[in-house]
Structure 1
């Protein structure tokens, strides 16, 4: 769920306003606060920037500015970058049944615990939480629990309660802004599979250890999710330790908090983690936290590889990664980058929520539709399935009608 400023989701790259007016999480993109309620920074910018693409127009190939360094986010992947979504793959009949079971269960939720504490008071399910419960979100939790429906339902509820308790949908851009004044985290460009890239630069650490450092990461993870194009569900994380002193390495406690966010509350959101230039003490740190990293996450971690294998050079920051530099001339200027990122994230959240409302505010809505892709809304899919049922009845094909009606039932619980 991404929230007003989303704190922690993959995910978890999703800001003021109330949680109920939110729009998307290492998000999901569905749990965020009302974009209009959080003004972007008042800082003025004269940076080189390109206007976000119009949603209804054919997008031209992205090009870097020619009159100076880029100082704002990149809004579109290269045309050669193609999303690879697990949720687009066909399900087995058994998996279809398990998905329908989970969808039917969450569709009945009226209240959920307000915190993760045992015996916590119940609170009504809010619209932004219903919006977070997308078709793909349910599938992500099912895959993460190896298709064990009770565990998937338990973890879905746990994430909503955790986000409520943690305040993940309440952080504002102004609150997070001091953490990013040096550009220690950047949503910048897309990898070869159209995953938005989140750069982490430990050497640029500018604040003392605090909860807000973790809130900062959660905010950026949720924002990264918001920048996903239609058909994409995961992000690319790039961490470079060049120039990072021993004091810039997070504690084991902080690392475990981040892993909790990524593995438990943003499952299936991490597509790749590209980690470069590790000094010996960072290698030791990774060994210390290795027992807490699940095998699926560990498989996605690549150490000291050529980043050009994964990121188109046009969108790979030229200053990032010794010997694997890209072509992108980017310069971090906080007064330019920060309001531009906030404005674009809020634009996308507004569009996401408007589509959800137009589609009937349904739990189980399709994320590709919500992100402006070619996928029909769930309501339209159900309408077409019902028309197919009526057609088959008219043709006297009752046996087939039973099958089609069953499919409509799965969609419309």
Structure 2
């Protein structure tokens, strides 16, 4: 790494997409953001926005065959802005990797052995790790001389004690197949819990926070003094809260019942619980804005879906209050958490005896900065904190390669 290298390219490779941001860690500024979607289709699309220039988004449509072609197209767009991958100012490429198992509890420079271990974890993250691996291989081929860093969604949750991480099943079977609770959205939970402490004017080590990451995928975490002690997602991102298309917590015997009585095979049950459940399964919509519109028009199915969603959320707030013993803040984040004031109000309503309340006027304000929405008298601060997973990945990546 050259002396003046301060830029980090963050890549989030999905099965048919690549999200990316180029950041300058000298001041935390974003130089460019973009998305390649529908990779492998005739209707592929690349949208690139240079934030260091005129800020006008450039789009191109047409077939992009694979991730290698996608990253080459991204490199060309960056080159056109004078931000090419060959720049001596580029310090590293940071990759979001969903599952790091127990082996990876911190950002890690990727070599062949690390990549092999990420591949070994594919059975517990079959929807995510293969795409992450493809992005890593492609980026390494494009810049084999540049440090490539894996930042794991699961890493923040590796501090969970065994009594929170273990399932109550036969230990030998669990260990043989690496069955335990890993948790996800870790970069978001880490970032938001730190920002919550800063909002209170305290060091993270002094603060206990319940983080509610509410998007199409949703998870909660209990963070004690900067360390995760419990989280709602488990072996996979299916466990926990009601989500856009995922069921969250259900009786495990539902799976046996569907197989024996409904005649569904494993793949069909998997698709049901991951893609046809949650809000979309309950009312046909997974967009909270549309659900609220339907509720306002008197739609009973939408109202029931919302009530189920809130009921599960309240249960986790209560459970994590018990786990932490003392709660200093509840922080809402991600698409729903940041933008859906009715969700925040309903989730906290009735929790006054636990020291939690929401001020209606503060809750109605829309802003891009972290803010409190609780009244001054509330014992527990309730906050809205926009998450920034890309910045978190870039910071962790840069800290590692510049150490």
The reply to whether TM is greater than 0.5 is no
| Higher RCO by CA contacts (8 Å cutoff, separation 6 or greater) | 1
**Structure 2 length as normaliser, TM-score?**
0.28
Q: Which of the two has greater strand per residue?
A: 2
